[in-house]
Amino acid sequence: MHEYTVISHPRHKILFYLALMSVGLTSILSLLFNKIIAFILPTFMLSFSVSIFTVFLIFYWLFNHFFWKNKFFSKTMKFPNLSGKWDCDAISNNIALQQEFPWKGSITITQSWDKILIILKTTTSTSESKSVVGGINYVEGKGYEVSYHYNNTPNIAEAELKKHEGFCVLCFSEDLKTAEGYYFNNIKERTSYGVMKLRKEAAE
């Protein structure tokens, strides 16, 4: 997985509030634990201190993996949860051959608050494309526009295919059930571009 940007999303403010909560909770926990120790072992001069850094890491982990997926947070912050598997119907245009080739595949998106990975696999090839950098932008009345750069690595058995890179833009509907977009490959490595339509698979 790699880091990604979300336009206008106040990550730094959220980190500040997580740090602020960590400081407050650390003080409360330290006081509570010391009272418990004093009650259990009244004759011992012991003190217990909770690390602010440890509390912050716990808060960050919980937020990064769970809390950000809350529907209220997603809607308020315009921060979509794209995780899941998407069926893909596409048409590739080969510039050199001046021909169109329909193809099918699936896109699997793994996402946390700070990282994402988009993997495309087709039914006609064993190669797969993986995102390496990307970003999300909310467009009012349109949906969530995801743009990312990818690398495609073919299976070594498919000698006619070459490793290549490209760029893809997908616009996800506001209900996060469908998406449409386009892609184009590095013309020096593969002279093709195309359009795609996505539909999210039902969760098992």
- Whether 152 and 69 map to the same domain: the answer is no
Last residue of a domain, one of 27, 61, 77: 77
Q: Which residues, listed in sequence order, are joined to residue 202 by a DSSP beta bridge?
A: none
> Is residue 95 scored above 60 in pLDDT?
yes
Rounded to an integer, what distance in angstroms lies between the CA atom of residue 33 and that of residue 51? 13
- Give the model confidence (pLDDT) of 147-159 as tens digits: 999 998 876 555 5
- Whether 120 and 164 map to the same domain: the answer is yes
- Whether 71 and 91 map to the same domain: the answer is no
Rounded to an integer, what distance in angstroms lies between the CA atom of residue 81 and that of residue 7? 15
CATH number at residue 160: 2.40.128.120
- Whether 140 and 175 map to the same domain: the answer is yes
- Give the model confidence (pLDDT) of 125-143 as tens digits: 777 899 999 999 999 989 9
Rounded to an integer, what distance in angstroms lies between the CA atom of residue 184 and that of residue 119? 16
pLDDT of amino acid 42: 58
- Whether 104 and 141 map to the same domain: the answer is yes
pLDDT of amino acid 179: 98
Q: Which two tokens stand for residue 52?
A: 């602010």
Q: Which two tokens stand for residue 49?
A: 């201190």
- Give the model confidence (pLDDT) of 157-188 as tens digits: 555 567 789 999 999 999 999 999 999 988 77
Q: Is residue 62 part of a domain?
A: yes
Task: Give the mean model confidence (pLDDT) for residues 190-195.
Answer: 85
Domain total in the chain: 2
pLDDT of amino acid 20: 93
Q: Is residue 68 part of a domain?
A: yes
Range of the domain at 64: 8-77
